[in-house]
Structure 1
Amino acid sequence: MTTLSLQEARQVVAETLREAGANDAMATATARALVLAEAQGLGSHGLGRVAQYATHLRNGRVNGDAVPTLRREKGAAALIDAHEGLAFAACEMAVAEAIARARDFGIAIAGVTGSHHCGVVVDHLRAVADAGMVGLGFANSPAAMPAAGGRHPIFGTNPVAAVFPRRRALPLMIDLSLSEAARGKVMVAARQGKPIPLGWAVDRNGQPTTDAQAALEGSMLPIGAASSPKGAMLALVVELLVTALIGAQFGFEASSFFEDAGNRPRIGQAFIVIDPGALAGSASYLDRVEVLVAEMLRDDGVRLPGARREDLRSRAEAEGIEVPDALLAQWRA
């Protein structure tokens, strides 16, 4: 193991991505996001993605020269084109657009089209909380889950995220995929040769499996799939929000992120930003949030969403992060 400061980790990740073909802005934004995820203990969306992104750059699945642009705008709505590059710089641009427009209109939406894997969705919303606003984030991904009653993968794991700022406290940060477990966790288990819990996925024949590799070749199960179609219905909602509305590809039209070769995914993300001052008022909003938080904390064992991640991030900022030597060697290769 090698211990790196967060700044050192960002530098080596950015260098790896630049060597693979990413322009400087793309490499820098991606490195910042991946190291932040790793610092929060989210390895499935952190440094474990570096080699995958680098391979996609080298194999042409990502346009390393892409610079995101504002493709269309109308009032409180904006559409950002990622031009088939890595998603992070485009998502940063979209969130900035949504914040600026929410200040003018009270609410705004910014979509990202022609995109790629966007990492931890709620991390894109940190700037929203810093601006004192409420943020919602959505993304699709290559097909991994069937429709309700179906067998073949159509929807991605389609994460949903939200951020709610608080008064003199860390924001509430909510982030979840609509599969029973994030597919990145299965990726990590497959890489380590470990089993996954029963109920996470089925194999390519539709049979329940604990084999992580068989799960990657099969389908993830939506939240609550054993008893209800609700998870699949939510995945449908997100799929339509980030594709039909903004012109991105459906999950079933995109090659898996876990394939070295394949098409450019051209998937989508969407961010909604709401100014509390346009509704009940910022002071009233902040007061009411604290009333709810206090009620939640009356029960022992309640942990506010995002608190554990922030504790780990603070520790990583002070102590650095441990990177397996094999991973560093993989990047250098």
Structure 2
Amino acid sequence: MANISLVELRSLVDAALQRAGANPAMAASTAAALVLAEAQGIGSHGLSRVAQYATHLRNGRVNGEAQPRLGHAKGGAAVIDAGEGLAFPACAMAVAEGVARAREHGVAFVGVVRSHHAGVIVDHLRVAAQAGMVGLGFANSPAAMPAAGGRHAVFGTNPVAAVFPRRSGDALMIDLSLSEVARGKVMVAAKEGKPIPLGWALDRDGQPTTDAKVALEGSMLPIGAVSSTKGAMLALVVELLVTALIGANFGFEASSFFVDEGNRPGIGQAFVIVDPGALAGREHYLDRLEVLVREMLADEGVRLPGARREALRRRAEAEGVTVADAMLASLRAAAEA
């Protein structure tokens, strides 16, 4: 194990992605996002994704020359075309566009189409919080969960995120997938040869499994797996928001992220940005948020959403992060290849 600074990690990941075919802007924004995830202790969306993204670049599943561009727009609504590149530059453009349109119209809905895996969705919303805006984020992904009552995978794990800025102190940051756990955790378990708990996933025949590799070939269970109808319905809502509404592919039309070969997934992300000043008023919003926070913290043991990840991020910025020797060797080899 080695302790590495975030600056050095970003440099390594940036170089590895550029050597795999990403243009400088795409490599830089992706490296920043993956290292930020690692710094927050979210390894399933951090350095473990570098090899996957690099392979997709080399195999043509990602267009490394893509430049995001503004597509159709009207009032507070807009669509960003990711150009079949990695998602991060397009998502950054979408949130910036959303903040600008929310300032003018009070609320904005900006979608991203022809996209790829978008990492930790709430991290895209940090810019909105810094601008004093409330942000919501949604994404679909290659099919991994069945519809309610079904057996074959139709929806992705379809994460939902939200950020609520505060007058002082860290914003409330909420991020969850609509599967019982994020599929990236199963990916990490498969790589490490470790079992997964019952209740996370099914095999390709629809039977419960603890084998992570078998689970990747099967399907994930929706959140609230004991009675998964609610989770499946929420996944349906997200699927429609980021596909039929904005023009992205359904999850079942996209090849899995966990295979080297396949199509360009063309999935979608969507961001809703709200200016509190357009509704009850900024000061009223900030006052009422603190009333709720105080009430939550009245019970011992309550931790505000995002508090742990922000504490880890600050420590990582000061002290670096610990990286396994094999991972570090792989990153250096990819950066120098």
TM-score normalised per structure 2: 0.98
SS in 1 for 2:108: strand
The answer for the alignment partner of 1:62 in structure 2 is 62
Report the AA paired with residue 80 of structure 2.
Answer: I
Once the 2 structures are TM-superposed, how far is the Cα of residue 156 of structure 1 from its aligned partner?
0.2
Once the 2 structures are TM-superposed, how far is the Cα of residue 121 of structure 1 from its aligned partner?
0.2
Deviations 1:163-199 (A, max 9, x none): 0000111000000000000000000011111111110
The answer for the alignment partner of 1:26 in structure 2 is 26
CA distance in 2, matches of 1:208, 1:100: 47
The answer for the alignment partner of 1:124 in structure 2 is 124
Deviations 1:179-221 (A, max 9, x none): 0000000000111111111100011111111111111010000
The answer for the alignment partner of 2:258 in structure 1 is 258
CA distance in 1, matches of 2:152, 2:330: 34
SS in 2 for 1:169: coil
Report the AA paired with residue 188 of structure 2.
Answer: V
Task: Give the percent of matched residue pairs that are identical in Structure 1 and Structure 2.
Answer: 76
The answer for the alignment partner of 1:194 in structure 2 is 194
The answer for the alignment partner of 2:278 in structure 1 is 278
Report the AA paired with residue 233 of structure 2.
Answer: M
The alignment's C-alpha RMSD in Å is 0.7
CA distance in 1, matches of 2:248, 2:64: 19
CA distance in 2, matches of 1:128, 1:110: 13
The answer for the alignment partner of 1:159 in structure 2 is 159
Deviations 1:274-323 (A, max 9, x none): 00000000000000000000000000000000000001001101110122
Once the 2 structures are TM-superposed, how far is the Cα of residue 324 of structure 1 from its aligned partner?
1.8
The answer for the alignment partner of 2:325 in structure 1 is 325
CA distance in 1, matches of 2:37, 2:270: 20
Report the AA paired with residue 265 of structure 1.
Answer: P
Runs (4+) of structure 1 moved beyond 6 Å? Answer: none
The answer for the alignment partner of 2:4 in structure 1 is 4
Alignment check: 8 A CA contact 1:225 1:232 kept = no
CA distance in 1, matches of 2:203, 2:228: 20
Once the 2 structures are TM-superposed, how far is the Cα of residue 228 of structure 1 from its aligned partner?
4.1
Within 5 A, what are the aligned runs for 1:1-333?
Answer: 1-331=1-331, 332-333=333-334
CA distance in 2, matches of 1:321, 1:152: 39
CA distance in 1, matches of 2:185, 2:82: 26
CA distance in 1, matches of 2:161, 2:317: 24
CA distance in 2, matches of 1:16, 1:135: 32
Report the AA paired with residue 274 of structure 1.
Answer: V
SS in 2 for 1:13: helix
Task: Name the count of aligned residue pairs.
Answer: 333
Report the AA paired with residue 277 of structure 2.
Answer: G
SS in 1 for 2:113: strand
TM-score normalised per structure 1: 0.99
Once the 2 structures are TM-superposed, how far is the Cα of residue 226 of structure 1 from its aligned partner?
1.9
Report the AA paired with residue 6 of structure 1.
Answer: L
SS in 2 for 1:109: strand
CA distance in 1, matches of 2:212, 2:249: 27
Structure 1: gaps of 5 or more residues: none
Alignment check: 8 A CA contact 2:221 2:228 kept = no
Report the AA paired with residue 92 of structure 1.
Answer: A
Once the 2 structures are TM-superposed, how far is the Cα of residue 38 of structure 1 from its aligned partner?
0.2
Report the AA paired with residue 297 of structure 2.
Answer: L
